[in-house]
Amino acid sequence: MSGTQAELRGFRAGGRPAAEASRPAAALEGGKTFRAYEPDQLLLMPPSLADWLPDDHLARFIDEVVETVLDLGAIYAAYEEVRGGPPYDPRLMLKVLLYGYATGVRSSRRLERHCLEDVAFRFLAANQQPDFRSLARFRRRHLGALEELFVQTVRVCATAGLVKLGRIAIDGTKLRANASRHKAMSYGRMVARERQLQAEIAALRRQLAGLLAEAEQVDAAEDARFGVDRRGDELPTELARRESRLARIRAAQAALEAEAVARAAAPHATAEGDGSGRDDPPSPPAAPTSGGRVRRVTPAGQAQRNFTDPDSKIMRTADKAFHQCYNGQAAVDASCQVIVAATLSNQAADAPHLPGLLGQVSANAGRPPRQTLADAGYYSEDNLISICGAGSDPLIATGRLKHTDPVPPAPRGRIPKEATLKQRMARKLRTQRGRAAYARRKAIVEPVFGQLRTVQQGGQLLLRGLDAARAEWRLHCACHNLLKLFRNGGTARLALA
């Protein structure tokens, strides 16, 4: 205790009463009465954290959802080992994670700190303080189960009447990976850097051999150079660092070469992007031989691979810059902006994701939407056919219009018999009804991405690797749906569900 604190406590104990000592002097002279304020007052009865939160607080809603709505069977099934100390209750950990992701607190260390300092987190954790290692292990261990919680939230929202499936809008957003673009290296630079490192390692080995030969001749010089506790034949730090870097570069080269072989073996498959920042897929570097075997291929010199998160790719973002990213996809219902389907990949193009998203909508909500809206990035004849085959009415832009371009006039007369699918779709979008329906696309899906980025801090992923990043994105979408349910009636909606 500091001297000032001791003097204050002595003054309070030996001078005026504590209530008077805490008042300002001007207030005492004026005779103004203040409410009682006793920082040192002890509680006579144990406090209840539930009394410290309002009835309509989000933490109470999360608590009720986990306790009464969500199926946690997949999480509990993972605990098969009887030995060892008892872990934290999965309900506690899940409540902390869901509330943290819903309020933009995702770091395990920040979650630990909030469980100590924040009343809402302490309420959900029943006044326990799980450490950040336990929180991180729980998230990593149950990543698949946490990802599937998204499907449960879609069905709960549908049961509560928030999903109508009259119209959905599909769009994608580039999510920053937890990796710097400066930690990526192109294949051409890998080859040059490999040769440079090999030369440096050979020079260091020659230098080390000379030192060891000299050390064997003169023991005194050996002790002076290497120390009495070292043998003298250990790898120098500089040599070990170069060898480890060379190993990482060779592993990245092998991965790029394997991707090139896969693309050459399936030239008609959907391109996954080479990480060069181009939205258009690169041409295959080679084709299979007539015998069915793939000859050795060399990746393009600009093909890149990131050493921090190899699954992430360099993509162009909304700020017209290039970053290490993943492509997050979402299908949003027009009624209450509930996300009814979500996925994530490292493909820069949007079009390949549309059939899978439509299949998710039918599986998650029970039936396909009446109408599907998407921008020009999703247009292809195959996508039009797949949407119609699913029983939905497609409205997909066939091209982009500049803001300065005049709006095309509404078509008149019969549709020409020789019109292609693209021409028919363009004609449909120029009609008064088509323009009015397509104009709702941005108002449906873009606010959702804005809420995910600002409220939940979901524009930057924390987990690395494609599978982990996809699970984190779907967990973000699940929390978004829970927030929509909370803001549209909360407990009452749960009671109906």
Per DSSP, what are the bridge partners of residue 343?
Answer: 329
Residues with Cβ within 8 Å of residue 426, at least 6 apart in sequence: 398, 399
Nearest to 130 by CA among 109, 156, 105, 157: 109
Per residue in 290-303, pLDDT tens? Answer: 455 545 566 665 56
C-alpha 315/C-alpha 38 separation (Å) is 58
pLDDT tens readout for residues 371-402: 999 999 999 999 999 999 999 999 999 888 77
CA-to-CA distance for 174 and 349, rounded, in angstroms?
11
Q: Which of 190-194, 276-280, 343-347 has the lowest mean pLDDT?
A: 276-280
Please give the model's pTM, rounded to 2 decimal places: 0.74
Superfamily of segment(s) 163-180+313-481: Ribonuclease H-like superfamily/Ribonuclease H (3.30.420.10)
Read off the pLDDT of each residue in 182-191 and give the average, rounded to a whole number: 64
Phi-psi region of 56 (alpha: psi -120 to 50; beta: other; left: phi over 0): alpha
Closest CA to 173 of 348, 397, 352, 369: 348
DSSP-based three-state secondary structure for 85:
coil
Q: Which residues contact 334 (CB under 8 A, 6 or more apart)?
A: 164, 166, 167, 168, 169, 440, 444
Strands 371-374, 339-345: pairing kind: unpaired
For the cut 50, the answer to whether the pLDDT of residue 153 exceeds it is yes
d(CA 6, CA 3): 5
* Domain extents in the chain: 1-42, 55-141, 163-180+313-481, 182-284+298-306
Chain segment 56-83, per-residue pLDDT in tens: 999 999 999 999 999 999 999 999 887 8
- Mapping DSSP onto H, E and C, the string for 171-210 reads EEEEEECCCCHHHEEEHHHHHHHHHHHHHHHHHHHHHHHH
Taken in order 62, 63, 64, 68, is the CA torsion positive or negative? positive
| DSSP label of 179 | S
